Amino acid sequence: MPETLTLVKPHCYHCGEECLTTAYETDQKQFCCQGCQSVYTILSGAGFCSYYTYNDHPGTTRLRNDKKYDYLSDPTILAELLDYTDERLSIITLYIPHIHCSSCLWLLEQLNRFNPAIAYSRVDFLKKQLIVRFDPKGINLQQLVELLNDIGYEPLISLQDIIKKQNKEVKSNLVQKIAVAGFCFGNVMLLSFPEYFGLSAFEQNFKTFFGYLNILFGIPVVFYSGWGYFVSAWHNIRNKILNIDFPLALGIAVLFIRTVVEILTHSGAGFADTLCGLVFFLLVGKFVQQKTYHHISFERDYRSFFPVAVQVIAEGKEKPVPLAELKTGHRMVIRHNEIIPADAMLLQGEALIDFSFVTGEAVPVNRTLGEIIYAGGRQTGEAIELEVVKPVSQSYLTQLWNNEAFTRKQDTRMKTFNETVSKYFTIVLVAIAVGALLVWLPFNYRRGIDAFTAVLIVACPCALALSTPFTMSAALSIFDRNFFYLKNTAVVEQLARINTLVMDKTGTITTGGSKSIGLDAELNAEQRQLIFSACTNSIHPLSRMICKYLGDLIKLPVTGYREIPGKGITANVNGHQVRVGNDEMIFGEVKEGNNLTRVHLMIDDAYLGYFGFQHEYRAGLETVTGLSPAYELYLLSGDQDHERAELLRFFPDNAHLFFNQSPQQKLDHISQLQQKGLKVMMLGDGLNDSGALKQSDLGVAVTDNVNNFSPGSDAIMDGRAFNKLPAFLRFSKDTVKIIHISFLISLTYNLIGLSYAVTGTLSPLIAAVLMPLSTATIISFTTLATHFAAKRRKLL
Amino acid sequence: MQPEKFYYDNKIVRNFGIATVIWGIIGMTVGLIAAIQLYHPGANMHNQFTTFGRIRPLHTNAVIFAFVGNAIFMGVYYSLQRLLKARMFSDILSNIHFWGWQLIILSAVITLPLGYTTSHEYAELEWPIDIAITIIWVVFGWNMFGTIFKRRERHLYVAIWFYIATFVTIAVLHIVNSFELPVSAFKSYMVYAGVQDALVQWWYGHNAVAFFLTTPYLGMMYYFLPKMANRPIYSYKLSILHFWALIFIYIWAGPHHLLYTTLPGWAQSLGVAFSIMLIAPSWGGMINGLLTLRGAWDKVRDDVILKFMVVGLTGYGMATFEGPMLSLKQINSIAHFSDWIVAHVHVGALAWNGFLTFAILYWLIPRIYKTELYSKKLAAFHFWIGTLGIIFYAVPMYWAGFTQSLMLKEFTAEGMLKYPNFLETTLRILPMHVMRSVGGGIYLLGVIAMAFNLVKTAKQGSLVANEAAQAMPLEPVHTLAKESAWHRRLERRPIQFMVLSLIVILIGSVIELMPTLTISSNIPTIASVKPYTPLELQGRDIYIKEGCSNCHSQTVRPFRSETERYGEYSKAGEFVYDHPFLWGSKRTGPDLAREGGKYGNAWHYNHLMDPRLMSPGSIMPEYGWLLTQKLDTTTTAAKIRAMQTLGVPYPKGYDKIANAELDKQAKAISDNLYIDHIKVKKDKEIVAIIAYLQRLGTDIKANKTPSK
Amino acid sequence: MSIIYFLIGCSVFLALAFLIAFFWAQKSGQNDDLFTPGMRILLDDETKESPKND
């Protein structure tokens, strides 16, 4: 290997990461690790080199460990996972987060080249899904998944795979309904225009012909496309609810009946075009409202992250056991990067557990033999053996899911503006209609009926029904652009009503890796070893970081180890007195000032210097906390209150900082606030926050990678967007304002229409002009206004 | 399971490619000759077969159906195979399609100069060729749907939808517009008459533009542009939406070609309304195309192929925006019948169809020949000279259009026409016509350069006639048992779809018979309007044969400027016996709807012999051959009978005495000419055409005092 | 102008044909994934003996 190449620090040909060593090399190509190299050899072996031609470094770094997928041979699990199977064909849909470029597409759709038993493999890029049809006799699921893992596309398999569920859902035929409505709308316009453009006297036979055709086109619009409105209106009436669907259904019905009557009795041209237009626009509004993120799931709970099965040792043999069947007393084996699914006692091995997705704390912590390890931790390092002490369902974290907060229905959420307003709207509307009828009835019943129907037609709250969906979907895409993903449009309105913010600490307001460490002291090898040995005993995050910083040294025997909470540790190592702690402990007085935490080092009463810890709170935390007093701010942290001092710089009110909060406590805390009538928004990241997230009026999961873990929530926020939170809140308020204004606009249109209607002199032309005009106004207004508001809030 | 091995048929693609280039050069050359005749009539080489009236249709047919047509098939045959991961359904069908289509064009090249024409614009070919077109088109459809049926890729890429739409719609349009009643092997009369014929013609005419020049090219754009730029289309969703929107709106924009004619007002407005609606879906395509290149403009800078695409798309955008604007009545009243329309059409044709075709050729030929393009420099030269050509063509024509129509509409303070003599306005715009032909010339030069470049490219490479490929066979969708049956039926849907479209055509042709029954229903009939005499009828057919309607309209619009110039504006009832209608779409010369009786027979005789005798500077060709050629009266009886079947009220058995009548009238005219010392035998064609010209518009004058 | 009946007939039938086509497309899942196909066409299916890496 020529020196020059090592000097330029080559990048891995497969994944593009910088190669620290030149040890891995094939065909004069550098690789960062064994994994990438083996992927390359596999690919080039199968003549797949053009995998690398479509994009540079399309791959991903990966580490393989055996037995990981043994459970995929377990029949009960297979049954759970496969979409379809018979003796000669199995179909499975796999979620593969790594899918990211056309090379992935190209490679994954040619799995057949690796194994002819794979008949067909197809990628859905947005959903990051791979559908595979394979012959179970030729290759079983385990081998398939291992193959994928080998070529660097590890599927994320879990029993509760929401994303999979999403497309299992029955396809709503909304699109077809829109198509039909649109088709009829177009043709009806074609047939109604002549009327408006004026048919000459000798062309009246066209008029009737067109009229009949109009009725023909109207029928599918009412009875297919628009039918949903009648159904929901009926349901709501049955449950004593007056929602917007009622006036809509009424409008549609009246339009149709009057059209039919007028045409059949040759008393007019009818309102077919208004009818079709109305239904068409309404459905489009519906369509716009249902925005879905393919790559994000808001419904995840622990089951989506715990393994499908674990290796259990029975009669000295390992065999995979599905999680559900995991019982207390089972002895399970957890390997590197595997998650501990149930509270268990460590029986064997060096446990170095990463609780990052429970607490957000990234630094792994040691556990000593015999200690209880809570479910959700991820073992790093060698394989360990544990004995299950609680079944999955009763484990410390998972018991949360027995809480009523999770059984609670969504409809206890606050009512949207639309719901509240449409009730009164309907009442008024019907009142006016009946009023008009009664006024005319005495002198001219025909006119009365005209007026009655006309009112129901022009006042049909089409524009009103459209204002919310269009505004909200516009807002949604604005948030979307700023890495803030809302579950649905309703959440925007909830966001506007929030007046209390509750935040988790680690991982939420601090970034995953938390702190950066710097050593301000000259230490020789021995001193290093002494300090390391002392600190390994502590589970305090700072000690953990010191150990990590000092690297893997041999641990010397420690005696007289003492940890003074909130101060530091003293220990006797190899007959040396080691003291590691803060100012108070070392100098007996606090001289904190800047946000640099110092941990001083003393060996045998000789002061050596200190470790400096720079806290890495998320950028813009001060802007977020600046929301107070407008918003009430709370902090609920699962950790000790080491950082209270620093946090106080951000959070004005000491009484609002709570530490050592168990998941259950967090949840209870939220509900207490709610009982005080506060509208609470919870920002959390870990599994231990999920209870609180669920309980809150608006749970926001903060994460640094939307494809990774995020607990069930109403919204998912990318860490990068955290500092924009204030802007988001203001913007949401703007959107609600916009809705109110557009409501007024639509009202004015209704009033104009009514002025014609009540006198019973509504020509089809006026209706045909008013309806689309109001709709167009609303759509353009909401879209533009939202855009403008976003610009004002610097979100565009 | 093993992937299936198969081969893409590149040979057929190559063949269509060659045809594209050859016919392109021919069609454009013919266009150039025609353009030159518009300022130098002598350029017809004093030969009836190369005179403007006959070769203008040849030009349009050659560039639309030969150049663009072959280009479409080239693009479709290349992309369809790859998009469906399957060879074309049948090589035999492919070849029948190829050779059949070339034969059709060849027959057009022969018949049109000979004067065999239906006079329906873009559908001039006579009935036997129409039938041939139908057959070959079905072959094409069969081949395409067959391929779709045996495809290995389940998803039909948006391009394919555009191809399907093209096939189905063109099939219907062609059939509807080709309902002719044959009189002889190469002569037929349109079934519909006057206004109705006009409506059908432009319903077809507009949609031919829509579905022959637009949808297939959009389809090809959606396949080739991403390939050329090696990046996916900006928004695939938008492309799908764009397709369905376009399909549902396009069909009804036709009537905007007939604004201010005697077509019912509401039908005109309908055309306008739908034309306006068209902007959105049309631009959807352009925006999607251009945004695909967003972030890749550096690529565009040094890739000539992408340059062609960009200009092409821009041209498309301009044309599809200008079109709806032109359909607005106010603008239309100026633009219609003028050179403006010619400019509009050519922006679309030269930029959109032309440049896209060139880009595809430059991209595709090297690929199927497994080599590099012979000279990138030459291609760049083609691009620049081509763009220059478009500018030199369009700008003068817009200019000419404005100038002439404004002059024609100008009144003096006294309220008299400022330019009562039409010829004045013509002379004013001749310089622009010269520049136009220059523009067209250099555009053609570019095409020749391309031809050379491509030939060299082909020479240095070798054709991969059958390109190997492999893909998994398509498997039925597996779902719940009862559903899967439903799905398997769905798999056969492409065929069903084809069958369905054929049914559509069938039903269409059934309803077709209706208008023949109610020939002039609810058109206000005018008592004084009588059928043409046999001589006039023969004269009218000479008028058609010589393609007079290419330069002379026959409909006076209700503007003062026109009623002053030509006389009483046209009424629907005047055209009830016009099979086909001869309203025309361009006024290179004055309108002839009220020509009858304006001048004496002698004037017409001399004017046709040498227009410059009567009106110095005129650019009308000399029709010397009309003086010498003998009128073929053998067809008279058949023609009368044909007209009778079409509902023209000739008395029973009139066909027997028709020729006697004809002689009588002919003699009268030749005698009248003799008074002016013009000796001409009564059996010459000139006599017949004079008779027809003298008849034009006189029916109404007869019972009305000419409006002045 | 009875020709109008006929032309409307044709137009409506055409539109209907396309509507049915749309329904087929929707039902048979043609429009389920409106993203990946756009990328898929960029990838050429190579064969073992003639790999064309372009």
Determine the distance in angstroms separating the CA of B518 from the nearest CA of chain A, rounded to an integer. Answer: 14
Interface test with C, best of B162, B236, B497, B509 (most C CBs within 10 A): B236
The DSSP 8-state label assigned to residue B41 in this structure reads: G
Q: What is the pLDDT of residues A582-610, one digit of tens each?
A: 777 777 776 655 556 678 888 888 888 88
Contact A105 C46 (CB under 8 A): no
Q: What is the pLDDT of residues A424-471, one digit of tens each?
A: 888 888 888 888 888 888 888 888 888 888 888 888 788 778 888 888
Residues contacting B670, CB < 8 A, separation 6+: B680, B681, B682, B687
How high is the pLDDT of residue C53? Answer: 37
Specify the residue for token string 């999607």: B288
How high is the pLDDT of residue A110? Answer: 82
Residue B461 to residue A400: CA distance in whole angstroms: 71
Residue A44 to residue A25: CA distance in whole angstroms: 14
Contact C33 A49 (CB under 8 A): no
Using CA coordinates, name the residue in chain C closest to B486.
C28
Contact C47 B5 (CB under 8 A): yes
Segment holding A280, helix H or strand E: helix A272-289
C4 contacts on B by Cβ (under 8 Å): 199, 267
Cis omega (within 30 of 0) for bond into B476: no
- Taking CA atoms, B392 is separated from B38, B305, B448, B471, in Å, by 16, 22, 18, 49
- Taking CA atoms, B126 is separated from B122, B169, B182, B183, in Å, by 12, 21, 9, 11
Residues contacting B169, CB < 8 A, separation 6+: B207, B210, B211, B215, B251, C14
Contact B504, C15 (CB under 8 A): no
Residue A351 to residue A384: CA distance in whole angstroms: 7
Strand A596-603: give its sheet, edge to edge.
A510-521, A606-617, A596-603, A576-581, A568-573, A558-564
How high is the pLDDT of residue C10? Answer: 77
- Taking CA atoms, A371 is separated from A41, A55, A345, A349, A660, in Å, by 43, 48, 6, 12, 19
Rounded mean pLDDT, B511-522: 48
Confidence of residue B162 (pLDDT cuts 50, 70, 90): very high
Determine the distance in angstroms separating the CA of B373 from the nearest CA of chain A, rounded to an integer. Answer: 22
Contact A125 C35 (CB under 8 A): yes
How high is the pLDDT of residue B409? Answer: 92
Pairing mode, strands A558-564 and A568-573: antiparallel
Contact C17 B504 (CB under 8 A): yes
Q: Is C35 on the interface with A (CB under 8 A)?
A: yes
Interface test with A, best of C1, C7, C8, C50 (most A CBs within 10 A): C8
Residue A373 to residue A496: CA distance in whole angstroms: 41
Residue B177 to residue B90: CA distance in whole angstroms: 30
Neighbours of A240 (CB within 10 A): 6
- Whether the pLDDT of residue B450 is over 90: the answer is yes
B518 contacts on C by Cβ (under 8 Å): 2
The most confident of the ranges A507-521, A638-652, B29-43, B201-215 is B29-43
How high is the pLDDT of residue A607? Answer: 86
SS3 for A354?
Answer: strand
Long-range contacts of B363-367 (CB under 8 A, 24+ apart): B363/B224, B363/B227, B363/B228, B363/B305, B364/B13, B364/B17, B364/B74, B364/B78, B364/B224, B365/B14, B365/B17, B365/B454, B365/B457, B365/B458, B366/B457, B366/B461
- Taking CA atoms, B209 is separated from A116, B124, B526, B581, in Å, by 49, 15, 35, 20
How high is the pLDDT of residue B68? Answer: 96
- Residue A729's closest CA among A522, A555, A484? A484
- Residue B27's closest CA among B69, B62, B71, B75? B62
How many beta-carbon pairs under 8 angstroms link B with C? 127
Contact A386, A335 (CB under 8 A): no
Number of H helices, E strands in chain C: 2, 0
The DSSP 8-state label assigned to residue B259 in this structure reads: T
Got the DSSP string for A285-353?
A: HHHHH----SS--S---GGGTS-SEEEEEETTEEEEEEGGG--TT-EEEE-TT-B--S-EEEEES-EEE
ipTM for the complex shown: 0.83
Q: What are C20's two structure tokens?
A: 């049915």
Length of chain B: 708
- Taking CA atoms, B166 is separated from A730, B208, B246, B251, in Å, by 51, 9, 12, 12
Q: What are A476's two structure tokens?
A: 């949604």
Pairing mode, strands A378-379 and A331-334: unpaired
- Whether the pLDDT of residue B562 is over 80: the answer is yes
Residue A601 to residue B588: CA distance in whole angstroms: 101
Please identify every stretch of chain A with a pLDDT value under 50, giving residue numbers as ranges: 1-7, 63-64, 162-164, 166-170, 409, 411-412, 514
Contact A157, A94 (CB under 8 A): yes
How high is the pLDDT of residue A752? Answer: 84
Q: How far apart are the first and last CA of chain B?
A: 86
Confidence of residue B328 (pLDDT cuts 50, 70, 90): confident
Instruction: Tell me the sheet residues that pair with A373.
Output: A344
Question: B517 or A419: which carries more pLDDT confidence?
Answer: A419
The DSSP 8-state label assigned to residue A509 in this structure reads: I
Contact C2 B518 (CB under 8 A): yes
Q: Which of A53, A124, A175 sits opposite C26 (nearest CB)?
A: A175
How high is the pLDDT of residue B498? Answer: 54
Residue A457 to residue A472: CA distance in whole angstroms: 26
Segment holding B467, helix H or strand E: strand B466-471
Residue A279 to residue B99: CA distance in whole angstroms: 50
B2 contacts on A by Cβ (under 8 Å): 116
Contact B270 A194 (CB under 8 A): yes
Interface test with A, best of B252, B263, B478, B479 (most A CBs within 10 A): B478
Cα dihedral angle (B702, B704, B705, B707), rounded to 10 degrees? -120
Contact C23 A176 (CB under 8 A): yes
Contact A199 B522 (CB under 8 A): no
Residues contacting B179, CB < 8 A, separation 6+: B190, B191, B192, B509, B512
Q: What are A750's two structure tokens?
A: 């209704």
C35 contacts on B by Cβ (under 8 Å): 236-237
B501 contacts on C by Cβ (under 8 Å): 17
Contact A701, A685 (CB under 8 A): yes
Q: Which residue type does B416 have?
A: M
- Residue B362's closest CA among B311, B305, B310, B313? B305
B266 contacts on A by Cβ (under 8 Å): 193-194, 197-199, 203
- Taking CA atoms, B219 is separated from A171, A234, A316, B224, B348, in Å, by 28, 46, 65, 9, 16
Q: Is B251 on the interface with C (CB under 8 A)?
A: yes
How high is the pLDDT of residue B516? Answer: 46
Q: What's the pTM?
A: 0.86
Interface test with A, best of B153, B266, B276, B526 (most A CBs within 10 A): B266
Residue B175 to residue A768: CA distance in whole angstroms: 36
Cα A488–chain centre separation: 10
Question: A598 or B484: which carries more pLDDT confidence?
Answer: A598
A53 contacts on C by Cβ (under 8 Å): 53
A190 contacts on B by Cβ (under 8 Å): 252, 270, 274
Residues contacting A172, CB < 8 A, separation 6+: none
